[in-house]
Chains A and B, each alone.
Chain A
Amino acid sequence: MEGIKEIKISNRRIQEHWTGAVLFLLVTVIVNIKLILDTRRAISEANEDPEPEQDYDEALGRLEPPRRRGSGPRRVLDVEVYSSRSKVYVAVDGTTVLEDEAREQGRGIHVIVLNQATGHVMAKRVFDTYSPHEDEAMVLFLNMVAPGRVLICTVKDEGSFHLKDTAKALLRSLGSQAGPALGWRDTWAFVGRKGGPVLGEKHSKSPALSSWGDPVLLKTDVPLSSAEEAECHWADTELNRRRRRFCSKVEGYGSVCSCKDPTPIEFSPDPLPDNKVLNVPVAVIAGNRPNYLYRMLRSLLSAQGVSPQMITVFIDGYYEEPMDVVALFGLRGIQHTPISIKNARVSQHYKASLTATFNLFPEAKFAVVLEEDLDIAVDFFSFLSQSIHLLEEDDSLYCISAWNDQGYEHTAEDPALLYRVETMPGLGWVLRRSLYKEELEPKWPTPEKLWDWDMWMRMPEQRRGRECIIPDVSRSYHFGIVGLNMNGYFHEAYFKKHKFNTVPGVQLRNVDSLKKEAYEVEVHRLLSEAEVLDHSKNPCEDSFLPDTEGHTYVAFIRMEKDDDFTTWTQLAKCLHIWDLDVRGNHRGLWRLFRKKNHFLVVGVPASPYSVKKPPSVTPIFLEPPPKEEGAPGAPEQT
């Protein structure tokens, strides 16, 4: 300040002073500006600007889909699609999003769905339309894709043999010229917007039955639309925020992403009065079958008495889409980096999942174990709530399972009825913490042992004579067709016709009679009142059982030793029930329903119930068929 005064006073020798003053002032100005900048920064740090809130938003991970503000330059995607006999690939802006040149794999029509605003891959499927029914799956899928999305199709090897009219009509409606006319071993590449214009198509006809069409490479530009156009305008709620995040990422889940009438993602089923399993954790074991997981979680969250915060989904692998499904329903998801291969990998995944479940819920005495390919009955938790005390009170029990291996449409009848069985059915079951922590976990098969966890659990060293409680009518339904030990034929033969309870709030009958001693009394009572069937008739014939209803019948079959299941296996085969190994037995006794009658089968003389056989009756003996060469091996149930 002194300097300023000095400047004011000095009139002489202005020239020199002037330069000095200017210099001085400049310095003052710079110092001032710097000070202003500094204090500004300090203030904005100390102050409650809106900035920290934004930061915290990020911390929360509430990632709103990126919105492009204003009308920025319209972007264009550069898409390449290749179709040939042995290789297909799709590249978007130079990034390969699909490449398949594996031999004997990936035959059929590959479909990719891109987000029209971001260009992200939202779904990737292959439909082997050389084989039957795959075209139906494709139609189902394409119909689910939201309008406006970018669809890319390309054929590998052969895609026309079972491509039926419905599918062709759908391709026509998408604007495709070549798709509806796709012929034997043609190559075909297609890019179009669903419900909008075709953006490119190439096709090459196969010249002869024994040869393929020439490889085609389609290069085309796909204009991107604005994010607003690509999104629905749902009300801004917590639920819809989850929905929006999900729907901007993945495709193929149908009405959950419908703009007009989206299907709910919160179900709030009626609470269960006096729910004994409200605080029992539920572990859902999943792989990379997100559509299955979606269906599974829907049914689980709709079951009466479910508590969503007890559910944890364990995903075997770093897969994004299953995690997206989990997040859609607001559940806890945990990913597991694979350690081992095939069966051992599943087994290690099970171990990690079970350990984690009991760690996350240290107070829980039990855990419910489910898999991603199960439908859950509406009274699943009600069934467990009524029966779980048995696990606490009866040491001779190994598990409670929702699944009856022998409960088919034609062999199960009574949803209020429970059995004790010596086998471990899995597929929706309750595990005791003490059993896991003290017995199973310490000696769980190590990764180098390529064992199925369920087979291992069924081994006598583990099961040690203990039994499981099962319902006559299953509370879970196994819908998985694609799986490690699963294929379409196998599923159709052994799982499709399984009975599944759909009646809510079933009151289980006489649950305490399932305890060890009480059950023997019950079985003896049943056998005493059972009518002995005519053993001269063929047990495989329908007429073996009279056309009555509500009766109890008993048949005696030959069973020399505890492990002699020759006749039983043949009987199971002709009854069209599970015959790949022995399931559902209790001390040489099987219980099922035939023509609405309770049907008991006793193995003589191995079963202690053989005493109930009248002396005049000769046990039935069925001979196994002569071994065929190359008979298909029996896949294991998982």
Chain B
Amino acid sequence: MSRINKNVVLVLLTLTSSAFLLFQLYYYKHYLSTKNGAGLSKSKGSRIGFDSTQWRAVKKFIMLTSNQNVPVFLIDPLILELINKNFEQVKNTSHGSPSQCKFFCVPRDFTAFALQYHLWKNEEGWFRIAENMGFQCLKTESKDPRLDGIDSLSGTEIPLHYICKLATHAIHLVVFHERSGNYLWHGHLRLKEHIDRKFVPFRKLQFGRYPGAFDRPELQQVTVDGLEVLIPKDPMHFVEEVPHSRFIECRYKEARAFFQQYLDDNTVEAVAFRKSAKELLQLAAKTLNKLGVPFWLSSGTCLGWYRQCNIIPYSKDVDLGIFIQDYKSDIILAFQDAGLPLKHKFGKVEDSLELSFQGKDDVKLDVFFFYEETDHMWNGGTQAKTGKKFKYLFPKFTLCWTEFVDMKVHVPCETLEYIEANYGKTWKIPVKTWDWKRSPPNVQPNGIWPISEWDEVIQLY
């Protein structure tokens, strides 16, 4: 009896375990298929034809935005590049249906569009309609950075990114906001806690890894793969901006703390200097931008931006940096034409070049040229009296956009390292007496110019 019982128990147990094994297999298969589902169906969907998921998603999105008067334009670098390469073809295909889907059917995870927020009249309710059309949308918002510079304001959040998914393809709508300095800004795509990390492959997004700044593009209407879209008039200019678009905000909070500690100088002289320095910087920026010479805020001007988000009123000059490989001989002439005569020129293109221009109201513009070595950058200095040379060393840096006195300008992205190299760890404490030959911690003596060269490398006007 007991044996039979035991056998029965054994059989039962075996059955149960087999059942579980089946379960196990079933779930494992299920798990695998969902995990790779996106990838699998993508490769299936990438047939070149008008029924690709990409094309359908874009088409639906364009239908939605034109119905709802959402003024979007295409900013997808991949597609803009393709359009640019085949621009003649795009122009020639008028409204008739093209034979082959060439652009929007290219396999990819996202198509990026942008929107200028201030032109969007009916944001409310747009979302619901998108969802009714079958899109699954995600929206990120943040506080408005344009209010950061002003003490203690808080308000309605602004939308930064929309990601709308239709089947396996997603539309990334980047919301551009107008900023002071005639440029467009987009925010960092930051996912909130509760957002599904696997909603789309976020890592593959072209925009939103950092905040970005772009020139305001002029737009044109084109027909691409039978769809009418707006694209930048100069698509390549836009595409070239993308990798260098990273934007950093001024540290307004720290600047406020700084002013709480040291109080702002609001004397008539300080106000007047700031005004002239701002005008000089604007003029210099305009001149260099026209020449296509990239520059950044350097030395005291950079410190003013980083420490107090303003021009340091006792700094007496405006300092810019330029990579020596961007040097153009017509810089001097261009500044002269802009009403900024050359004050002095030290060094030569091959070594320690530095230019100074005379602005209005006794404000000077100093332009330092930076030389790149394998593990550092440097710029040079020359003492006019003695012909002594100096070298200022900086760790390597890249350029980021920022906003300074109502302008979009470059600063080193690695600003803290740059400033600490130049001013030491105590850069937070204002110092009014500064000896450019001795005070900077990164200064090194660099020999002396041979007297025969003085006429060339020490020019005073």
Contacts and interface: CB of A to CB of B under 8 A. Distances in A.
A105 interface: no
A323 to B, nearest CB: 9
A4 B17 contact: yes
Contact of B136 (A53, A238, A335): A53
Contacts of A29: 16-17, 20
Nearest to A40: B27
B140 to A, nearest CB: 8
B136 A32 contact: no
A43 B30 contact: yes
Contacts of B180: 358-359, 362
B153 A335 contact: yes
A446 B35 CA distance: 61
A615 B356 CA distance: 67
Listed residue (A238, A358, A437) with the most chain B CB atoms within 10 angstroms of its CB: A238
A360 interface: yes
A333 B147 CA distance: 12
Interface in A27-48: 28-29, 32, 35-36, 39-40, 42-43, 45-48
A238 B137 contact: no
A25 B11 CA distance: 12
Given A36-B23, A46-B198, A363-B178, A238 B156 contact: no
Contacts of A69: none
A360 B155 CA distance: 12
B118 A361 contact: yes
Nearest to A45: B198
Contacts of A359: 146-147, 149-150, 179-180
Listed residue (B18, B20, B21, B179) with the most chain A CB atoms within 10 angstroms of its CB: B20
Interface in A355-387: 355-356, 358-363
B152 interface: yes
A360 B156 CA distance: 12
A4 B182 CA distance: 75
Interface in A13-63: 14, 18, 21-22, 25, 28-29, 32, 35-36, 39-40, 42-43, 45-48, 51-53, 55-56, 58-60
A333 B195 contact: no
A617 interface: no
A485 interface: no
Given A21-B13, A25-B13, A45-B196, A59 B141 contact: yes
Contact of A336 (B24, B153, B181): B153
Chain B interface category by residue count: 35 or more
A334 B31 contact: no
B121 interface: yes
Contact of B14 (A4, A355, A362, A363): A4
B219 interface: no
A332 interface: yes
Contacts of A21: 10, 13
Interface string B1-34: 0010010011001101110110110011011001
Contacts of B18: 4
B192 to A, nearest CB: 6
Nearest to B125: A238
Given A332-B156, A334-B156, A42 B178 contact: no
B275 interface: yes
B124 interface: yes
A443 interface: yes
A334 B153 contact: yes
A42 B136 contact: no
A337 B152 CA distance: 5
Contacts of A51: 196
B337 to A, nearest CB: 25
A3 B35 CA distance: 31
A8 B14 contact: yes
Contact of A14 (B3, B27, B141): B3
Contacts of B124: 238, 330
A356 B27 contact: no
Contact of B196 (A1, A52, A363): A52
Contacts of A8: 10, 14
A442 B405 CA distance: 12
Contacts of B30: 39, 43
Interface string B267-280: 00001001100000
B298 to A, nearest CB: 25
Given A59-B194, A334-B156, A339 B16 contact: no
Contacts of A362: 178-182, 406
B27 A36 contact: yes
B261 interface: no
A348 to B, nearest CB: 8
A22 B14 CA distance: 10
Nearest to B124: A238
B138 interface: yes
Nearest to B154: A335
A7 interface: yes
A355 B150 contact: yes
A14 B198 contact: no
Interface string B381-395: 000000000000000
Contact of B155 (A53, A58, A335, A443): A335
B323 interface: no
B266 interface: yes
Contact of A443 (B125, B154, B156, B266): B266
A356 B153 contact: yes
A52 B136 CA distance: 9
A62 to B, nearest CB: 10
B97 to A, nearest CB: 32
A39 B182 contact: no
A166 interface: no
Contacts of A58: 194
A55 B275 contact: no
A207 B342 CA distance: 93
A58 B138 CA distance: 11
B151 interface: yes
A334 B147 contact: yes
A303 B73 CA distance: 33
A360 B146 contact: yes
Listed residue (A28, A39, A48, A363) with the most chain B CB atoms within 10 angstroms of its CB: A39
B50 interface: no
Contacts of B120: 309
Interface in B67-116: none
A352 B137 contact: no
B139 interface: yes
A7 B15 CA distance: 12
Contacts of B195: 52, 55-56, 59
Contacts of B128: 238
A438 interface: yes
B153 A32 contact: no
Contacts of B275: 438, 442
B144 interface: yes
Interface in A123-161: none
11 contacts: A7-B13, A14-B6, A29-B16, A39-B28, A46-B198, A52-B195, A59-B141, A359-B149, A359-B150, A359-B179, A361-B178
Given A21-B10, A362-B181, 19 more contacts: A21-B13, A29-B20, A36-B23, A36-B27, A39-B27, A39-B31, A43-B31, A43-B34, A45-B198, A46-B35, A55-B196, A60-B139, A238-B125, A314-B153, A334-B147, A337-B152, A359-B146, A359-B150, A361-B178
Interface of B: 3, 6, 9-10, 13-14, 16-18, 20-21, 23-24, 27-28, 30-31, 34-35, 37, 118, 120-121, 124-125, 127-128, 136-141, 144, 146-147, 149-156, 178-182, 192, 194-199, 266, 271, 274-275, 406
Give 9 closest A-B pairs by Cβ, nearest first.
A334-B155, A337-B152, A32-B20, A362-B180, A359-B146, A39-B31, A55-B194, A52-B196, A39-B27
